[in-house]
């Protein structure tokens, strides 16, 4: 049982970290909460599905298309909506929530209300000490770590990445260093869309595609931000693991139906004890 | 309470609105009345949201949570334990205020953007819990149906729902015209400065919240008895939240009259589009309208009409 | 005006540390009822931090604050206001979507939910307060966004006068004002003091404007008190000159 | 012709006017100080030169009108800025802060890093320490260093001595002098600390309530009663 919790916990946490990172990034750089973030995840899943299972494109091409869709939609959210409301975080919150519901309706109009089952990205099962893990989940965990690792390298070792962190820490300091914050915002929204789409492809293979699937990842992202604080990527990673393990332990030891409830209670607890999050500091 | 001339004039308008709506069943059929009944309930929820969020700027994404507490309380009491609805409905309202306060009070300590997220999380908790905790009582995922109705027939229900909405509307409207209303708006604009003028903002926010919860409680309790069933889906759902939010924002937050207008507009639009757009297209359409209107005109329909009225007056002069 | 034995406000050994930075290190001073105290010092000396602590917007790391003979160190902001302390901000903080009159209304409102509902607003009294700080009747209906900087400072004054304070903390009241506006605000301060017996603590970098108003001046530098005395004494003080002009 | 010339500069914050028709000239290779009490508009002046405010009037740098340019372009033209209190990136190490400063000048990073570390050996010792945990003096050095990373021709420093102990002020003064003499950098500083400014600069402007006086030498200014009047009203 302990081994099972360990494996499941890591697998789930990896996925949660991947889901949350795009959301956290927007919050760190622009100090706004993008409630349409879940839509990038849904869009990633649906576009991948349409390309692979309806248009018959190869896996790789479908994946690229999904990412492009995420990037495009992320950019559009920023350019058409958020940029006009940027000095009012509450307006951003409300309008992105409305946008999410609009997109949910659009998905139903295009793909219908019935849930769709996605093929796993790769097939096969790995058995180990009486525990079986699908190759698909292992791949997802692997991709998650690779993506997060590349992101960390990107923000640490490239000029553009450092500029993103600079804007998130001190906007004036960044501007007088010659950085254009609006360009940085566009880059982060595009990246956020890409991360959402990648996470969405895997998330959808674990559950299924339906027009409500954007809510749960959004709640997870929110939970990661609240638990981790407006945090460093490392802070978000740790927060994702706390949430992932708490959930795994609750569902395997107490009751499977309580999935989600433990996360909510964790959010409330953290907000009451440390409203700035466990690792709260203004950094990406 | 001193009532000035302007208040009297507006009360006249309220009265005219009331009389007009009371005469409506003489003219229109029961189909239209049934649509309007939904508008009335939506208006109650939107006003409740507006009184808390529109006024104080503490955006609640958890109003379905409040409505749900009320709905479940009266449904369980009357359906499972045979409590007469004369008792179960007041009990539901009390439960909403107490239960809501228990959850929201800690959240009211949290500033700005986080408040909305925490209330959203509450809604999700209740959704999960009703499915798994004591399903024998709550009915689990399927909920309960066959709840006792208060009055029967479209006309009676129309008058009842309109009456409740009208009373709530007038009371809330009078409330926001007092100095309390001014103080609550001031919280939205600058909470710090309200404190430094000698107010306990905690007390003010708690009051606004209790009123909002009471209104949601009344609305929620009557609503479930009207539709005769309750289930976690449809209740604790973002689509429901979305409808409330859009009604309040479309009409124009912070006005009480706005949310009523928004609720009528939304329900009627939704119904008249039904033949043309049978499914989710309607959400797509009015979500789109709401989005554009919100970005272009955050103050809502009410402000458009108010502006138009002002222009007409200027023109007549 | 109630006569109190001893000082109206007394600050005892206040300390404030942010992270590792000691913003205020052991400040003590007193203000007598009816006195006008100037609080000056170079940029970053910790003057506003002292105001924030007197208003309970910041919790001091250590030290005590006494008002009217009572230890108020643990009393929250709105209770301090009720006891008679009010302040203005360096950057005026009006309620942006409300008219001047409504801004004053918030200040006049009692901290009691039922009275807020039952007792109607008194536009005449609001207008009276507005006029007393120099607003024209027309301006009472204006929005803050339509006002000039000097008028915004008046509005802050008006909202503070509305809470009927005994002690008023004025933070950089002359900043961003034209010479004419400075004259008007000064006159207003003198007038209010004459009529209502107000006590002031004024923070200002505009010493020329401050000089005629103050009875006594205290000087802060690097979070410490470096001088105290009449205006003329203080500005001739070697340590003060060094603090401002550098050595 | 002057390297930097400003004429009739008006700056507003909302309805409040922070600068009133400010004009000044800075010749290449000089150290110029703008002196004045708190709130006179010193930071606003430098913010306006680098393009951070809504401004009206003429600002020319090396003959080009920069009065409407965005900060990024102005930085690229060769103006470096160390603002009041630094505006450093608190959770980055010193070296990373410096690298951000090189955002617009990536072909001379090694060279510029060497220059900065030679000027401030202490920064090299602590290059990986987060600036959030550093002393005021070290932060001031890091801020100057970051400005130097874009290879500026003109360096603007806002209140270099703010909150610093006298010993550290002397250190900063020595570095600024060195930059000016050895590397030929034009330097504009603003100071409340008038004596510091007059000991360092060759030319001084007195800024008072958003208005600026004529260019003077430190001696002229010291002999006039204007400074004391500006500060103490006597």
Over the stretch A128-170, which tens digit does the pLDDT of each residue have? 777 888 888 889 999 999 999 999 999 999 999 999 999 999 9
- Contact (CB<8Å) A222/B279: no
- Structural domain boundaries in chain C: 9-96+164-245
The whole-number average pLDDT for the span B230-245 is 88
DSSP state of A284: -
For chain C, the DSSP string reads: ----SS-SEEEEEEEEEETTEEEEEEEEEEE-TT-EEEEE-STTSSHHHHHHHHTTSS--SEEEEEETTEE-TT--HHHHHHHTEEE--SS----TTS-HHHHHHHHHS-S-HHHHHHSPP-HHHHHHHHHHTT--TTGGGS-GGGS-HHHHHHHHHHHHHHT--SEEEEESTTTT--HHHHHHHHHHHHHHHHHH--EEEEE-S-HHHHTTT-SEEEEEETTEEEEEE-HHHHHH-HHHHHHHH--
Positive or negative, the CA dihedral B261, B264, B270, B275 is negative
- Contact (CB<8Å) C96/B193: no
The residues, ordered by sequence, that sit 6+ positions from A201 with a Cβ below 8 Å of its Cβ are A44, A45, A48, A63, A66, A121
- Looking at per-residue pLDDT, the higher value among B316 and B225 belongs to B225
- Of residues A98, A259, A275, nearest to B291 (C-beta): A98
The Cα of C211 is separated from the nearest Cα of chain D by a number of Å equal to 8
The residues, ordered by sequence, that sit 6+ positions from D170 with a Cβ below 8 Å of its Cβ are none
Q: Residue B126 corresponds to which tokens in the numbers above?
A: 């209740």
The whole-number average pLDDT for the span B273-286 is 76
**Pairwise CA distance, residues D109 & D102, whole Å:** 7
**Pairwise CA distance, residues D143 & D131, whole Å:** 10
- Contact (CB<8Å) A165/D89: yes
Q: Residue A100: what are its φ and ψ, rounded to 5°?
A: -60, -45
- pLDDT, position B117: 80
Touching subunits of A (3+ CB pairs, under 8 Å) are: B, D
CB of D71 within 8 A of CB of A176?
yes
CB of B189 within 8 A of CB of C102?
no
- Contact (CB<8Å) A102/B291: yes
- Of residues C93, C96, C117, nearest to B192 (C-beta): C93
Q: Residue B164 corresponds to which tokens in the numbers above?
A: 């409740």
**Pairwise CA distance, residues A1 & A9, whole Å:** 12
Strands B229-230 and D55-61: unpaired
> Is residue B79's pLDDT more than 50?
yes
**Which chain A residue has the Cα nearest residue B299?**
A91
**Pairwise CA distance, residues D75 & D62, whole Å:** 13
Which residues of chain A neighbour D88 with C-beta distances below 8 Å? 170, 173
Per-residue model confidence as pLDDT tens digits over C203-246: 988 888 899 999 999 999 888 999 999 999 998 888 888 888 87
For C15-46, the DSSP string reads: EEEETTEEEEEEEEEEE-TT-EEEEE-STTSS
HEC-encoded secondary structure of D123-152: HHHCCCCEHHHCCHHHHHHHHHHHHHCCCC
- Contact (CB<8Å) B287/A101: yes
The whole-number average pLDDT for the span B51-78 is 92
- Of residues A84, A91, A272, nearest to B106 (C-beta): A272
Which residues of chain B neighbour A267 with C-beta distances below 8 Å? 118, 121
The Cα of C178 is separated from the nearest Cα of chain D by a number of Å equal to 9
- Contact (CB<8Å) B242/A101: yes
Helices D136-148 and D94-101 pack at an angle, to 10 degrees, of 30
The whole-number average pLDDT for the span A226-232 is 75
**Which chain A residue has the Cα nearest residue D77?**
A178
Q: Residue D99 corresponds to which tokens in the numbers above?
A: 């690298």
Q: Band of the pLDDT at B289, cuts 50, 70, 90?
A: confident
- Looking at per-residue pLDDT, the higher value among B289 and A218 belongs to A218
Hey, is the C-beta of D78 within 8 angstroms of any chain A C-beta?
A: no
- pLDDT, position C1: 43
- pLDDT, position A283: 41
- pLDDT, position B1: 46
Touch test B–A: 3 Cβ pairs or more under 8 Å: yes
Stretches where chain D sits below pLDDT 70 are 233-234
Q: Residue B252 corresponds to which tokens in the numbers above?
A: 């124009």
- pLDDT, position B47: 96
Place of tokens 């400063």: D101
CB of A37 within 8 A of CB of A225?
no
Q: Residue D48: what are its φ and ψ, rounded to 5°?
A: -70, -35
The SS3 assignment for A213 reads: coil
Helices A261-273 and A215-228 pack at an angle, to 10 degrees, of 30
The whole-number average pLDDT for the span A99-126 is 90
Place of tokens 């492009």: A68
For A22-38, the DSSP string reads: HHHHHHHHH----TTHH
- Contact (CB<8Å) B113/A90: yes
Q: For residue B76, how far is the Cα from the chain centroid?
A: 22
Interface pTM (ipTM) of the complex? 0.87
Which residues of chain B neighbour C121 with C-beta distances below 8 Å? 178-179, 182
- pLDDT, position C202: 96
- Contact (CB<8Å) B183/C106: yes
Mean pLDDT lowest for which of B22-36, B286-300, C39-53?
A: B286-300
- pLDDT, position D40: 85
- pLDDT, position D142: 96
- Of residues A109, A258, A260, nearest to B124 (C-beta): A260
Q: Which residue from B8, B206, B218, B248 is spatially nearest to B106, judged by alpha carbons?
A: B206
The whole-number average pLDDT for the span A65-69 is 97
Please calculate the CA angle B38-B41-B45 and round it to the nearest 5 degrees.
Answer: 135
- Of residues C20, C44, C244, nearest to D231 (C-beta): C244
**Pairwise CA distance, residues A27 & B181, whole Å:** 33
C-alpha distances in Å from residue A134, one per residue of A140, B22, C134, C244: 10, 64, 77, 72
- Contact (CB<8Å) D37/C244: yes
The Cα of D29 is separated from the nearest Cα of chain C by a number of Å equal to 25
Which residues of chain A neighbour B291 with C-beta distances below 8 Å? 81, 95, 98-99, 102
Which residues of chain C neighbour B200 with C-beta distances below 8 Å? 76, 78, 111
- Of residues A93, A212, A265, nearest to B116 (C-beta): A93
> Is residue A282's pLDDT more than 60?
no
**Which chain C residue has the Cα nearest residue B7?**
C120
**Which chain A residue has the Cα nearest residue B287?**
A102
The whole-number average pLDDT for the span B222-244 is 90
CB of D206 within 8 A of CB of D212?
yes
Q: Band of the pLDDT at B317, cuts 50, 70, 90?
A: low
Hey, is the C-beta of D67 within 8 angstroms of any chain A C-beta?
A: no
- Contact (CB<8Å) A169/D101: no
> Is residue B109's pLDDT more than 80?
no
The Cα of B278 is separated from the nearest Cα of chain A by a number of Å equal to 11
**Which chain A residue has the Cα nearest residue B125?**
A261
- Is C177 exposed, middle or buried (CB count within 10 Å of its CB: 0-12, 13-18, 19+)? buried
**Average pLDDT, whole number, for chain C?**
89
- Contact (CB<8Å) B238/A257: no
- Of residues C208, C246, C247, nearest to D233 (C-beta): C208
The whole-number average pLDDT for the span B3-13 is 84
**What percentage of chain C has pLDDT greater than the value 70?**
97
The whole-number average pLDDT for the span B200-206 is 91
Touch test C–D: 3 Cβ pairs or more under 8 Å: yes
User: What residues does C67 pair with on adjacent strands?
Assistant: C9, C70
DSSP state of A54: I
- Strand order across the C9-18 sheet: C21-31, C9-18, C62-67, C70-71
Superfamily of domain C9-96+164-245: P-loop containing nucleotide triphosphate hydrolases (3.40.50.300)
- Contact (CB<8Å) B182/C82: no
Q: Band of the pLDDT at A123, cuts 50, 70, 90?
A: confident
**Pairwise CA distance, residues D212 & D150, whole Å:** 29
Give CA torsion, residues B110, B114, B116, B119, to 10 deg: -70
**Pairwise CA distance, residues B12 & B18, whole Å:** 10
* B8 φψ region: left (φ > 0), alpha (ψ -120 to 50), beta (else): alpha
The Cα of B36 is separated from the nearest Cα of chain C by a number of Å equal to 32
**Which of D72, D73, D77, D149 is most worth mutating to test chain A (most A CB atoms within 10 A of its CB)?**
D72
DSSP state of A122: S
The SS3 assignment for D60 reads: strand
CB of A145 within 8 A of CB of A233?
no
- pLDDT, position B95: 97
The Cα of A128 is separated from the nearest Cα of chain B by a number of Å equal to 32
- Looking at per-residue pLDDT, the higher value among D152 and B109 belongs to D152
Hey, is the C-beta of D101 within 8 angstroms of any chain A C-beta?
A: yes
The Cα of C247 is separated from the nearest Cα of chain D by a number of Å equal to 6
**Pairwise CA distance, residues B253 & B185, whole Å:** 11
Please count the CA atoms within 13 angstroms of the CA of A235 that sit on its side-chain side.
23
Hey, is the C-beta of A281 within 8 angstroms of any chain D C-beta?
A: yes
H or E segment to which residue B211 belongs:
helix B201-227
The residues, ordered by sequence, that sit 6+ positions from C113 with a Cβ below 8 Å of its Cβ are B180, B203, B204, B207
The residues, ordered by sequence, that sit 6+ positions from A188 with a Cβ below 8 Å of its Cβ are A25, A26, A29, A30, A164
- List, in sequence order, every beta strand (DSSP E) within chain B: 144-145, 229-230
**Pairwise CA distance, residues A29 & B96, whole Å:** 38
Which residues of chain C neighbour B208 with C-beta distances below 8 Å? none
**Which of B179, B194, B205 is most worth mutating to test chain C (most C CB atoms within 10 A of its CB)?**
B179
**Pairwise CA distance, residues B91 & B93, whole Å:** 5
**Pairwise CA distance, residues B112 & A93, whole Å:** 10
The whole-number average pLDDT for the span B39-53 is 95
Stretches where chain C sits below pLDDT 70 are 1-5, 19-20, 247
H or E segment to which residue D32 belongs:
strand D31-35
**Average pLDDT, whole number, for chain A?**
89
The SS3 assignment for D220 reads: helix
- Is D136 exposed, middle or buried (CB count within 10 Å of its CB: 0-12, 13-18, 19+)? middle
**Pairwise CA distance, residues D129 & D95, whole Å:** 9
Q: Residue A75 corresponds to which tokens in the numbers above?
A: 């950019």
- pLDDT, position A280: 61
Per-residue model confidence as pLDDT tens digits over B177-189: 899 999 999 998 8
Measured between alpha carbons, how far apart are the two ends of chain C, in Å?
Answer: 45
Mean pLDDT lowest for which of A66-70, B107-111, D208-212?
A: B107-111
- Contact (CB<8Å) A179/D72: yes
């Amino acid at each position: 049982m302990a081994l099972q919790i360990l494996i499941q916990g890591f697998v789930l946490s990896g996925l949660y970290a991947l889901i949350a990172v795009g959301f956290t990034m927007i919050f760190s750089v622009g100090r706004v909460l993008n409630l349409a973030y879940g839509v990038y995840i849904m869009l990633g899943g649906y576009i991948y599905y349409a390309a692979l299972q309806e248009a018959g494109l190869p896996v790789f091409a479908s994946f690229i298309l999904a990412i492009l869709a995420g990037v495009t939609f992320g950019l559009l959210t920023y350019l058409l909506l958020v940029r006009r409301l940027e000095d009012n975080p509450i307006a951003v919150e409300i309008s992105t929530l409305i946008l999410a519901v609009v997109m949910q309706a659009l998905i139903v109009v295009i793909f219908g209300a019935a849930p769709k089952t996605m093929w796993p990205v790769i097939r096969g099962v790995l058995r180990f000490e009486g525990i079986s893990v699908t190759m698909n989940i292992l791949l997802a965990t692997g991709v998650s770590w690779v993506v997060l690792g590349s992101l960390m390298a990107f923000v640490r070792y490239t000029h553009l990445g450092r500029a993103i962190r600079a804007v998130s820490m001190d906007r004036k300091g960044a501007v007088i260093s010659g950085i254009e914050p609006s360009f940085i915002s566009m880059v982060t929204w595009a990246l956020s869309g890409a991360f959402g789409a990648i996470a969405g492809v895997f998330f959808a293979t674990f559950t299924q595609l339906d027009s409500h699937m954007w809510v749960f990842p959004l709640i997870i992202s929110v939970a990661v931000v609240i638990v981790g604080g407006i945090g460093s990527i490392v802070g978000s990673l740790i927060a994702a693991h706390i949430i992932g393990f708490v959930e795994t332990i609750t569902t395997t030891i107490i009751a499977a139906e309580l999935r989600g409830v433990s996360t909510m209670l964790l959010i409330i607890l953290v907000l009451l004890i440390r409203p700035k999050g466990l690792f709260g500091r203004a950094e990406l | 309470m001193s009532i000035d001339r302007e208040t009297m004039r507006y009360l006249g308008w309220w009265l005219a609105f009331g009389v007009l709506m009371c005469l409506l069943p003489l003219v229109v059929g029961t189909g239209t009345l049934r649509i309007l009944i939904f508008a009335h309930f939506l208006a109650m929820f939107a006003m409740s949201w507006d009184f808390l969020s529109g006024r104080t700027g503490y955006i609640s994404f958890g109003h379905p949570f409040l409505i749900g507490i009320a709905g479940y309380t009266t449904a369980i009491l009357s359906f499972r334990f045979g409590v007469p609805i004369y008792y179960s409905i007041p009990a539901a309202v009390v439960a909403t205020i107490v239960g809501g306060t228990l959850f929201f009070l800690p959240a009211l300590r949290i500033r700005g953007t986080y408040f909305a997220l925490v209330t959203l999380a509450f809604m999700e908790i209740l959704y999960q819990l009703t499915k798994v905790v004591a399903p024998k009582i709550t009915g689990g995922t399927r909920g309960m149906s066959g709840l006792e109705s208060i009055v029967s027939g479209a006309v009676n229900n129309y008058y009842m729902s309109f009456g409740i909405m009208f009373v709530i509307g007038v009371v809330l409207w009078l409330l926001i015209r007092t100095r309390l209303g001014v103080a609550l708006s001031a919280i939205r604009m600058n909470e710090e400065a309200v404190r430094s003028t000698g107010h306990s903002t905690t007390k003010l926010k708690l009051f606004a919240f209790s009123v909002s919860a009471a209104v949601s409680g009344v609305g929620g309790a009557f609503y479930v008895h009207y539709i005769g069933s309750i289930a976690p889906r449809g209740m604790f759902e973002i689509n429901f939240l979305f409808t409330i939010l859009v009604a309040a924002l479309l009409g124009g937050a912070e006005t009480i009259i706005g949310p009523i207008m928004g609720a009528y507009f939304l329900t009627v639009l939704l119904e008249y589009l039904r033949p043309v757009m049978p499914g989710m297209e309607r959400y797509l359409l009015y979500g789109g309208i709401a989005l554009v209107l919100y970005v272009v005109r955050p103050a809502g329909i009410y402000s458009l009409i108010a502006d138009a009225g002002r222009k007409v007056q200027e023109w007549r002069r | 005006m109630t006569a109190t034995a001893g000082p109206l406000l007394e600050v005892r050994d206040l300390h404030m540390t942010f992270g590792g930075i000691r913003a205020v290190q052991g400040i003590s001073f007193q203000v007598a009822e009816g006195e006008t105290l100037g609080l000056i010092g170079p940029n970053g000396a910790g003057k506003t931090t002292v105001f924030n602590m007197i208003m309970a917007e910041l919790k001091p790391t250590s030290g005590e604050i006494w008002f009217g003979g009572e230890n108020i160190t643990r009393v929250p902001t709105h209770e301090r206001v009720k006891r008679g302390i009010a302040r203005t901000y360096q950057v005026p903080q009006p309620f942006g979507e409300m008219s001047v009159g409504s801004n004053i209304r918030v200040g006049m409102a009692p901290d009691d939910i039922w009275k807020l509902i039952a007792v109607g607003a008194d536009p005449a009294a609001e207008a009276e307060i507005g006029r007393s700080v120099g607003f024209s009747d027309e301006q009472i209906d204006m929005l803050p966004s339509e006002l000039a900087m000097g008028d915004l400072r008046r509005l802050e004054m008006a909202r503070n006068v509305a809470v009927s304070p005994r002690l008023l903390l004025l933070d950089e009241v002359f900043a961003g004002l034209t010479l004419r506006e400075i004259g008007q605000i000064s006159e207003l301060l003198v007038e209010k003091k004459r009529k209502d017996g107000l006590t002031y603590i004024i923070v200002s970098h505009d010493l020329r404007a401050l000089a005629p108003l103050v009875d006594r001046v205290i000087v802060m530098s690097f979070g410490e008190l470096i001088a105290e005395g009449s205006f003329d004494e203080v500005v001739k003080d070697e340590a003060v000159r060094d603090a401002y002009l550098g050595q | 012709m002057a390297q930097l010339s400003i004429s009739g500069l008006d700056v507003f914050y909302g309805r409040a006017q922070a600068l009133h028709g400010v004009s000044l000239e800075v010749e290449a290779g000089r150290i110029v100080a703008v002196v004045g009490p708190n709130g006179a508009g010193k930071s606003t002046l430098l913010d306006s030169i680098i393009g951070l405010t809504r401004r009206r009037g003429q600002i020319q740098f090396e003959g080009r009108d920069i009065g409407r340019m965005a900060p990024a372009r102005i930085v690229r033209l060769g103006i470096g800025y160390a603002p009041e209190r630094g505006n450093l990136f608190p959770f980055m190490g010193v070296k990373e802060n410096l690298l951000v400063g090189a955002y617009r000048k990536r072909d001379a990073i090694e060279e510029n890093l060497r220059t900065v570390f030679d000027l401030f050996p202490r920064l090299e010792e602590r290059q990986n320490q987060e600036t959030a945990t550093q002393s005021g003096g070290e932060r001031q050095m890091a801020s100057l260093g970051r400005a130097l990373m874009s290879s500026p021709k003109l360096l603007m420093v806002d209140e270099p001595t703010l909150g610093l102990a006298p010993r550290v002020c002397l250190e900063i003064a020595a570095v600024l002098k060195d930059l000016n003499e050895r590397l030929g950098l034009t330097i504009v500083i603003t100071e409340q600390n008038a004596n510091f400014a007059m000991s360092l600069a060759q030319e001084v402007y007195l800024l008072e309530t958003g208005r600026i006086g004529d260019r003077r030498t430190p001696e002229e200014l010291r002999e006039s009663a204007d400074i004391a009047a500006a500060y103490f009203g006597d």
